[in-house]
Amino acid sequence: MITISAPLLEGNEIKAIGDVLKSGRPTQGPIVEEFEEAFALFIGTEYAIAVNSGTAALHVALLAAGIGEGDEVITTPFSFIATGNAILLCGARPVFVDIDENTFNINPHIIEQKITPRTRALLVVHLFGQPCEMDKITQICQRHRLILIEDACQAHGAEYQDKKTGSFGIGCFSFYPTKNMTTGEGGMITTDDKELADKARMIRNRGQKERYFHEILGYNYRMADIAAALGICQLKKLPEFNRKKIEHAEFLIREISHIEGLMPPFVAPDVKHVFHQFTIRVTEDFGISRDELKEKLKKREVMTEIYYPLPLHKQPLYQKLGYDDNLPLSEKAAQEVLSLPVHPGLEQEDLKVIVRALANV
């Protein structure tokens, strides 16, 4: 069976976690600090603040940026649910802008139509590991004085014009096991803003700077040293993981481009796409439906996944909140997308099995 993802955890990870256990201090401590410093250095920001999930990273980033009741945050409807929910958790309102057909990312050309006097921030998602059009995005933020937040939960090590995602605005990362690197569960916020970093650290730890003196409302979103030990090992391997994924993706693009009705992923010029997911479109020309293709591949031992079958504005939660947007390109993508395995654990033979399965179907 060829799975859609498979974290590689059995190297020096085991010893690193063992060392933390032997220290008798498994909670947030010096190893988290070491991981934060290494991650900030890798992304190219002054600060990195570790938390216990990508959702927590988004929530803390928005709160530290001062987003709250009555504010609007512009974002994409074609993402994982956490992107929209982090905005709702702050009491603010997500405002959805449709995607670019090629990249699956928010379409910068139609963002300004949705800006109102209540708009405070722009939360972009580098979906599947492909950076958004950051030149246009940063210009819009400057022009309208909006806070820029990047959901880089799928884009560790991705680059736009040689600059890493997560270093343009406030970066948010996830270390869930399906992501480009893992800490089991975990997340990270990246920023150059010292005040914001300080505030994020307080929110992460129950609103306190000094133990048992609570200045603001906070949470327990701390990362444990056990997780950070795993993160330090994984971060060292991330460039190699990404290199392999890119190599696998390039192979699949070459091999499936000629198949009628399958559209391989588009890679924008000027970007380093790290292929958190290798997402194709199955169009009408293919002959059978996307869902039928998924079933047929499964019978041939190739697991695939649909990221995502329902855009955020169509989710029951958002319907109940009264969302009735018409966002045709996101809705169409949800019907057509299929993600194929490209994870770093695959061998050349696995890739050939995938190609053969697609060709034979």
User: Which residues of this protein are in contact with ligand PLP, per CB under 6 A?
Assistant: 53-55, 79-80, 82-83, 125, 151, 153-154, 174, 176, 187
Based on CB atoms, which residue is closest to ligand PLP, 232 or 351?
A: 232
CB of 176 to ligand PLP, least distance (A): 4
Smallest separation (angstroms) from ligand PLP to the CB of 330? 14
* Strand blocks (E) in the chain: 47-51, 72-75, 93-96, 119-125, 147-151, 159-160, 163-164, 170-174, 187-191, 208-210, 213-214, 262-263, 271-272, 278-282, 337-340
Q: How far apart are CA 83 and CA 90, in angstroms?
A: 12
Residue nearest to ligand PLP (CB): 54
Residue 256 CB, nearest approach to ligand PLP (Å): 24
Q: Which residue, 82 or 203, is less far from ligand PLP as judged by CB?
A: 82
Helix, strand or coil, per DSSP, at residue 228 = helix
Cα distance between residue 325 and residue 25, in whole Å:
49
Q: Shortest approach of ligand PLP to residue 284 CB, angstroms?
A: 28
Q: Which is nearer to ligand PLP, 191 or 277 (CB)?
A: 277
Among residues 208, 233, 234, the alpha carbon closest in space to that of 222 is found at 208
User: Which residue's CB is nearer to ligand PLP, number 53 or number 130?
Assistant: 53
| 47/175 with CB nearer ligand PLP | 175
| Angstrom distance (rounded) from CA 343 to CA 278 | 9
d(CA 107, CA 227): 36
Cα of first residue to Cα of last residue in the chain, in angstroms, is 17
- In the bound state with ligand PLP, the residue whose beta carbon lies nearer, of 179 and 286, is 179
Q: How far is the CB of 195 from ligand PLP (least distance, A)?
A: 25
185: amino acid identity, one letter: E
- Residue 226: CB minimum distance to ligand PLP, A: 16
Could you tell me which residues come within 8 angstroms of residue 220 by beta carbon, excluding any fewer than 6 positions away? 205, 206
